[in-house]
Structure 1
Amino acid sequence: MQERTIMLIDGQSFYASVEKAAHPEHKDAPVAVAGDPSRRSGIILAACPIAKSRGVKTAESLGEALGKCPELVIIRPRMQNYIDVSLLISGIFGKYTDLVEPFSIDEQFLDVTGSIPYFGAPEEIAVQIQTRILLYTGVWSRVGIGSNKILAKMATDIWAKKSESGIFTLRKLDVERVLWPQPIQAMFGVGSRMTAHFHRMGIDTIGDLGRMPLADLKRRMRARMGRNSDIQAELFWQTANGIDPSPVKPSTHDAQQAVGHQMTLPRDYSEPREIDVVLLELSEEVCRRSRAKGYMGHVVAAGAQGADFSQPTGFFRQMTVPDPTNIAKEVYAAAKTLFYAHWDRLPVRKLGVTLSRLVPDDQYQLTLFGNREKERRLERMTDAIRNKFGTTAILRASSLLDAAQARERSVKIGGHYK
């Protein structure tokens, strides 16, 4: 069987690179994209290499970043623009292979095994792709190459991001010589908390983990983290040994399992009348997206997170509704039932509603009482108005209340301004 050639291509400081390309006057300046530049408490979403060289870090507060780099140029995020650039880059990948799998907005896997006879060696293809992306978008890309996705990912994260060429190949036969000497925290999937666990187990390098018998690793992790850690142990062991049988699948994200939406609230909500407004808006959004995709759901779920993030509390519960639905009124009724059955009456800062066990909405059950078809026609008409004139063209009166978030959410994508 022919060994595959997989690439993981990552856009360097993606949001910041897109903004620097759009603002050539900032070419030689330290630039950061921040969640809310009007507040020093806003979070740094991306920082260009110049800003990083002056100590600016992703996820730190704007105040901390400005303390390190007073001349930092702060730009408000434009999420729709980043999505558009990401799609443009996907189009470039499509010229080389049809096996492209998104990993995030700025990272995508490519299987170029069948492209080598047409475009040259893997490193040559990587240079061609880098050049095209830079020419079309102004974004510099780093390329990790391996025989599977996990090797390509670690080639990118550990080496390509630090090399001048931005390209690195990690071969399976080089795992012991090249990968194993790396510190355990460099391995994909190992965060700070897991690093501490591994250090306490005497595992300091990737090789320490990779050469350990799997049964021994499972035993040690069970002793430290409980009996349910076996699957996690096997995943870590396979990663350390460069094992990943999963193919690059363009359809990975196509099969819809659920439609959900959650919202971090601008302040603590503790009054039922305020919470109800947001639950209704969330139910409407979930149902609108379900109808757009042609789905109804058998199961409604509702969740909440407490206001104290240092000692997080909350819940996520679900219930099966009598008939599959994508009608906001029905989903809202179920979400309210779930919420008030499990809410501890403490202030909440995050709410969510999800519709799952999806089925096509071209066939549905008529009911003896009520008029579901009338409700469906009404909601389809509302969708048509919003699609044509914008999501705030028609709103419920409750969405004009102070607690409502629909108008604010309409100008954002993923919690950030478009």
Structure 2
Amino acid sequence: MTRQIFLIDGQSFYASVEKAAHPEYRDKPVAVGDPARLNGIILAACPIAKSYGVTTASRVGEALAKCPELIVIRPRMRTYIQISLLITQIFESYTDLVEPYSIDEQFLDVTGSLNYFGSPHELARRIQDHVHLSTGVLTRVGIGPTKVLAKMATDNYAKKIPEGIFELSFDKLESTLWKLPVHHMFMVASAMTRHFTRMGLTCIGDIACMEFGEFKQRMRREMGKQSDIQAGYYWQIARGIDPSPVVAGIRHQLKSVSHGKALRWSLYTGLKDIEIVLLELVIEVCRRTRRHHYMGSVVSVSAAETDGKRSTWFSRQTTLPQPTSLTHEVAAAAHKLFIEHWSGLPLSNLSVSLSQLTDDSMIQLTLFEDRSLAYRKERAIDGIKHRYGSDAIVRASSLMEAGVARERAEQIGGHYK
């Protein structure tokens, strides 16, 4: 049986939630960002704001220059997550195969639901109305026999038509998808677009209509022998081939735990201030690793450096003597990595990750330290933070001006709750 898969996207999701909460803004340009920070970025803009040239990821100051009447609303990430979960529940009333792809995009396999709700188009319209009446959020629906076609149907067609519904089936590819420029293909960004252009492949159909062997040879000439896997991946996407099923839920096996922070480079010029943030990131990484009952064997540190004129970036990793999620052990390794590879320029971004995760039910003991006692202490601190908030107990260094832990405690994903 041919599958019927939806990719449903919330239109300007954050902005739609805010307009639903503020009916007085219905016919006004609205964007979500921090109005107090002109250098901050726009997270979402409603269609009216976009008509003035306001785009996602543009600076707040730039957006206001293009649209002086723009209403910039501070983000409320907790609310957006709650609305996203409510939308998931609505989808689950039509099918039990709902797979969140992002906070505003979800895959639905409705193959078994059509006997109850009619054609794919009728069901898509019904879901759109249900979501809009319940949340005020408008949605666009891409329909296809595979997840990748449903995704490209949403991005390239459903988002651009008033009805917000478009079906992309295999028999329509030649007359629709294959005529689009290659950068409209799923997972093709600017760098890959340049590669394809140099290969003479300017449209998606140029890839889809080529024999796989020839396409692989072209990829090898352009990118080397290591590109064989990529060749198979892009050739299948161009043809809409995607055997992956819609998997209910979002829980997957963790491969790593990471935490990062964008910094104002003019404030983080010296090692003393940077060390404070580095330790805070390690604390959060270790806490999250313990929450999932893991330990890690590889510590990675990444940093972006700039002085306003020059910019550099590095990412380095090291293997630990034994798996751990103890703060002081991870912090020592992270600090050593940073010192060895930092050029001395101010930092604009810093992140730490712990990978090669293993179960923490068994702990390696050592002769010179009671690691079991250290874990009990850290888990007691975890319990306090879980009950009273992540800023209920912090290191004294986090109370200094360079500390960001208390600010992060008021945020979700780097944005205000």
In 1: Cα distance, 2:283 partner to 2:182 partner: 45
State the partner residue of 1:191: 189
Aligned match for 2:113, one of 112, 115, 128: 115
**1:154-165 paired onto structure 2 within 5 Å:** 154-165=152-163
Q: Are 1:169 and 2:175 matched, yes or no?
A: no
Indicate conservation of the 8 Å contact 2:363/2:372, yes or no: no
Residue 392 (structure 2) aligns with? 393
Counterparts of residues 290-309 of structure 1 (less than 5 Å): 290-307=289-306
What is the match of residue 211 of structure 1? Answer: 209
1:328–1:13 distance in 2 versus 1, CA, 3 Å: same
Deviation at 1:41, TM superposition (A): 2.3
**Equivalent residue for 1:131?**
129
| d(CA) in 2 for partners of 1:404, 1:26 | 37
Matches within 5 A, 1:267-306: 267-268=265-266, 269-306=268-305
- The 10-residue stretch of structure 1 (170-179 or 341-350) with the greater mean CA deviation from structure 2: 341-350
Distance 1:309 1:96, change over 3 A: farther
Say if 1:315 and 1:297 are closer, same or farther in 2 by CA, change over 3 A. Answer: same
Q: Which residue of 2 aligns with 1:338?
A: 337
The Cα shift of 1:183 comes to 2.3
Match of 1:49 in 2: 47
Q: Which residue of 1 aligns with 2:353?
A: 354
Residue 14 of structure 2 aligns with an amino acid whose one-letter code is Y
Which is further off, 97-106 or 11-20?
97-106
> Distance between the aligned counterparts of 1:355 and 1:192, measured in 2?
30
Secondary structure, aligned partner of 1:161: helix
In the alignment, which residue of structure 2 is the partner of 1:178? 176
Partners of 2:300 and 2:189 in 1: how far apart? 29
In the alignment, is residue 379 of structure 1 matched against residue 397 of structure 2?
A: no
- Shift in Å, 1:375: 1.5
Using the TM superposition, name which of 111-120 and 273-282 deviates more.
111-120
Distance 1:249 1:329, change over 3 A: same
Deviates more, 1:246-255 or 1:86-95: 246-255
**Percent of aligned pairs with the same residue?**
56
Q: Conserved in 1, the CA contact under 8 Å of 2:3 and 2:146?
A: yes
Contact 2:98 2:249 in 1 (8 A): no
Query: TM-score with structure 2 length normalisation?
Result: 0.94
The AA in structure 2 aligned to 1:296 is: M
Residue type at the aligned position of 1:271: G
Distance in 2, matches of 1:368 and 1:196, equals: 56
Aligned-partner Cα distance in 2 for 1:221–1:294: 42
- Write out per-residue CA displacement over residues 140-194 of structure 1, whole angstroms, 9 at most, x where no aligned residue: 1100010101110011111111222211111112211221122223222223343
**Secondary structure in 1 matching 2:366:** coil
Q: What is the letter of the counterpart of residue 297 of structure 1?
A: G
CA displacement 1:276-329 (0-9 Å, x = unmatched): 211211111011111211212222222222226886523222222222211111
Offset of residue 227 of structure 1: 4.0
Give SS of 1:10's match. Answer: strand
Match of 2:326 in 1: 327
Distance 1:276-1:227 versus aligned 2 partners, 3 A rule: same
Instruction: Quote how far apart the aligned CAs of 1:40 are.
Output: 2.6
Of residues 43-52 and 9-18 in structure 1, the stretch that sits farther from structure 2 once superposed is: 43-52
Q: Does 1:149 align with 2:157?
A: no
Shift of 1:263: 1.2
Does the Cα contact within 8 Å between 2:5 and 2:107 map onto a contact in 1? Answer: yes
CA distance in 2, matches of 1:62, 1:302: 30
Residue number in structure 2 paired with 1:14: 13
Q: Are 2:220 and 2:226, in contact at CA under 8 Å, matched by a contact in 1?
A: yes
For this pair of structures, how many residues does the alignment match? Answer: 416
Q: Distance in 2 between matches of 1:85 and 1:273?
A: 41
- Compared with structure 1, are the counterparts of its residues 311 and 252 closer, same or farther at alpha carbon in structure 2 (3 Å cutoff)? farther
Aligned partner of residue 298 in structure 1, secondary structure:
strand
Residues 114-151 of structure 1: CA deviation (Å, up to 9, x unaligned):
22223332222212211111111110110001010111
Indicate the RMSD between aligned Cα atoms, in angstroms.
1.9
Q: Which structure 2 residue ranges, 5 or more long, are not aligned?
A: none
Query: 2:246 — aligned with what?
Result: 248
Asked if the contact 2:157/2:166 (under 8 Å) is kept, the reply is: yes
Q: From the superposition, tell whether residues 252 and 89 of structure 1 become closer, same or farther in structure 2 (CA, over 3 Å).
A: closer
Alignment partner for residue 222 of structure 1, among 220, 223, 234?
220
Please give the alpha-carbon distance, in whole angstroms, between the structure 2 residues aligned to 1:203 and 1:323.
49
Amino acid at match of 1:303: S
d(CA) in 2 for partners of 1:215 and 1:9? 35
DSSP 3-state at the match of 1:180:
helix
Report the Cα offset of residue 251 of structure 1: 5.3
Mapped to 2, the partners of 1:324 and 1:404 lie a distance apart of 28
Cα gap change, 1:351/1:40 in structure 2, threshold over 3 Å: closer, same or farther? Answer: closer
How far 1:202 moved relative to its partner? 2.8
Residues 83-122 of structure 1: pairs in structure 2 closer than 5 A: 83-122=81-120
After TM superposition, the structure 1 stretch with the greater mean CA deviation from structure 2, 6-15 or 367-376, is 367-376
